[in-house]
Amino acid sequence: MITFDEKRNVFHLKNDRFSYCFSVERGKYLLHQYFGRPLREFRGSAERPAVDRGFSPQPGAYENERTFSLDVVPQEFATNGHGDFRIPSLDVVLENGTNVVELWYEGYEIKKGKPALEGLPALYASDDEAETLEVTLADTKGRMKAILSYTVFAGDGVLTRSVRYMNTGKETLRLENAASLCLDFPDHDFDRLSLYGGHAAERSLERIRLMRGTMVTGNTRGASSHQQSPFLALARPKTDELSGDVYGFSFIYSGSFRMATEVEQFGTTRVIVGINPDDFAWTLAPGDAFQTPEVVIAYAHDGLNGMSQAFHQAYRNHLLRGKYQHAVRPILVNNWEATYFDFDDKKLDDLAACAKDLGIELMVLDDGWFGHREDDNSSLGDWKVNREKLKGGLEGVAESAHKRGLKFGLWFEPEMISKDSDLYRAHPDWALHVPDYPSSFSRHQLVLDLSRKEVQDYVVNSVCDILKSGAIDYVKWDFNRHLTEAFSAGRTPEHQRETKHRFVLGLYSVLERITQSYPDVLFESCSGGGGRFDAAMLYYMPQTWTSDDTDAICRLSIQTGTSYVFPPITMGAHVSVTPNHQVGRVTPMQTRAFAAMMGCYGYEMDITRMSDAEKQQVKEHIALYKRLRPTIQLGTFTRLLSPFEGTKNETAWMFTSEDAKEIALFYFKTLSEPCTPIRRLRLAGLDPDAAYKIAAYYPAQSLSHDSDGSGTGTLVGRTFYGDELMQEGLNVTKINTDFAAYLWVLEKVMK
Ligand code: DGJ
């Protein structure tokens, strides 16, 4: 997978999806050469002509060679001060106050498998699944080294990159920018894709022409955030869901990040990914090392679905861990939208009884069970059950669920502290704060200083004290504000700007300790919905609550947006009541159910208050989901129609089971329209030579298998070859209702 061509000084990283090549120029500089479809061998057919470019300086060693400048070559790693004026990989301040070092190639090592990154979540692989190249760059004055890591996976269309910065000299260094990745493309003929949003409106796709100058996706919130996701893609302009070249970048990090593109004077494009330097500095003493988080790069020549499937496969096989990595997830009911803070033992017992009757498998007790928390003003940090509310304690609620054969889950928000809490009264300095100015509040709460070991220990112990009863099968781990005044009472001035990154490292350490101690517990991360839906959190917790917006129509966009990077098995998706609590929309139960079936299915409503007819419908939906669950959660996901494209009025999702024998095809139309063309749905990824039977069809708002009189339903029981289903496709009936949802189930019957 990884070779070094001694004659041409070229590293060639290759699998059956791509080749990635870079060379060692003049024995010193790493120049990017090629990234795209696999090459037999890289020989340099597009050798760059030597051109003397004005205002592009020569490094000191090449004073008389006016055609050589670091400003005009594609670099794998860029430093300050030697004539490359683009965004650098590194900004390091020396004791003399300057920020210029000179890092030259020193050597390389190729390893089987993939070494772990100390203290950081990252993809993992066994020795026969991947190979890792480590290239060392060393400062010519011996001050520091940078070790660039590249891992290629045998069966996946992804490559990972990270850097380890080491202080090898005698003076203290201050890192003010320590990027994980620098990658230069020879042109800028790209669309730039990113995912933006806000609370309850996460991950809308933005696709714009890549512009000259610098464009940044990122934030300084101390979290991967609802506002900008740590994802970026560059796609050739005609790229669509099923064709075209695309390069996707996903950052395995949960704090402030920066993903920048820079199109410079000659039209080339630099991509820089790393911790956001606006929010970071790190003091590196002699002998110390700093490990950056990892970037996952997915290359696909078969469009945006190709990129997404490469991410999905890599994350399912090399990121998620533990008992639930490849296991279907339980169908849950969560009491948040059912009761908010207003519940007692009796109400929860009624919910459990009803849940069991409907076929639900897990009951989750959300916020409000601890301290004296009657609203969101108090008690975060006091993880002791409120016995006035729950007379039988947590044991009682857990027992009521367990005795009915349900699993029991519990909500925590362990990184937070309320001003009105025993914890704050005992340890006011445990909240992130600055000495001279008042702290900023958000949802009436402050953030615990997880950069401190004693605070990490408190969090681990208080959560484990509850989990050790053995009564908790599932944990929802919430995080409901971003970091302000992010400084630490436990740190000297020169280390204060490390606090935000140390907070993230502290969180990872806490999560590792807790999740490894309770391997049978299913953990779901949450941050006011999907405010920390990132690959790093998925390393510890294999699913995330996708959004606080539970409206089915909003969820079509939020879940489709999320699917550009993350597979359905990672997305919490629940049916809620109408009018919807976030947007007031009234949608049919079947549309709500079909939208929620895209992920880890559940209910977020007072199921005890449903009519008998509604309960019957819910039972049928749950039975249907249980049947399709392995296909949806463990199969391959394909977007056929995206709500971010065209009229933005239609969405179609296709799920293909692992053995490729079952297909679930969902189609949604938001608003009905007069006089529109009949929608043709062309399937994708089928075996053209295999025959598929239309096993079931669920027309809008009915679980009936019968024809809806349109012709489409009469196809049930008929068989078609894969080529026809992909080229000709299926027609959707004329729709005369808003918020319509349809489902076809196909079975491969012969090859
Ligand atoms: C935000 C979460 O996203 C909600 O689902 C719920 O758990 C609330 N927090 C509880 O405060």
Please give the pLDDT value at position 156.
87
Please give the pLDDT value at position 710.
56
Pocket test for ligand 1, best of 334, 335, 367, 376 (most atoms within 8 A of CB): 367
Please give the pLDDT value at position 702.
72
**What is the C-alpha separation between 244 and 356, in angstroms, rounded?**
47
Low-confidence ranges of the chain (pLDDT < 50): 705-707
Q: Ligand 1 centroid to 421 CA: how many Å?
A: 19
Last residue of one domain, picked from the residues 258, 292, 318: 318
Q: Ligand 1 centroid to 367 CA: how many Å?
A: 7
With tokens 């699993």, the residue in question is 407
**Residue 509 domain-assigned?**
no
**Residue 540 domain-assigned?**
no
**What is the C-alpha separation between 2 and 5, in angstroms, rounded?**
10
**What is the C-alpha separation between 270 and 186, in angstroms, rounded?**
9
- 678-699 core/surface letters (b: 16 or more CB in 10 A; e: else): ebebebbbbeeebbbbbbbbbb
**Residue 151 domain-assigned?**
yes
**What is the C-alpha separation between 83 and 275, in angstroms, rounded?**
24
Count the domains in the chain: 2
Token pair of 13, please?
């990283």
**Residue 587 domain-assigned?**
no
DSSP reduced 3-state for 525? strand
Q: Ligand 1 centroid to 322 CA: how many Å?
A: 25
Q: Ligand 1 centroid to 36 CA: how many Å?
A: 42
Give the chain's mean pLDDT: 96
**At 144, which amino acid appears?**
M
With tokens 């772990």, the residue in question is 116
**Residue 453 domain-assigned?**
no
Last residue of one domain, picked from the residues 318, 337, 371: 318
DSSP reduced 3-state for 558? helix
Closest Cα to atom 10 of ligand 1: 367
- Residue 705 structural domain: 640-750
Closest Cα to atom 11 of ligand 1: 367
Please give the pLDDT value at position 705.
47
Q: What is the DSSP string of 135-159?
A: EEEEETTSSEEEEEEEEEESSSSEE
Q: Ligand 1 centroid to 529 CA: how many Å?
A: 7
Q: Residues near ligand 1 with C-beta < 6 Å? A: 336, 366-367, 411, 478, 480, 526, 528-529, 545, 548
Pocket test for ligand 1, best of 364, 369, 480 (most atoms within 8 A of CB): 480
3-state SS record for 14-65 = ECCCCEEEEEEECCCEEEEEEEECCCCCCCCCCCCCCCCCCCCCCCHHHCCC
The atom of ligand 1 lying closest to the CA of 366 is 7
**Residue 456 domain-assigned?**
no
Please give the pLDDT value at position 490.
81
The atom of ligand 1 lying closest to the CA of 334 is 5
**Residue 699 domain-assigned?**
yes
Please give the pLDDT value at position 604.
97
Residues designated catalytic:
478, 548
**Residue 715 domain-assigned?**
yes
Please give the pLDDT value at position 708.
53
Last residue of one domain, picked from the residues 262, 297, 318: 318
CATH number of the domain residue 20 falls in: 2.70.98.60
**What is the C-alpha separation between 484 and 433, in angstroms, rounded?**
8
Closest Cα to atom 6 of ligand 1: 336
CATH number of the domain residue 675 falls in: 2.60.40.1180
Judge if pTM exceeds 0.85.
Answer: yes
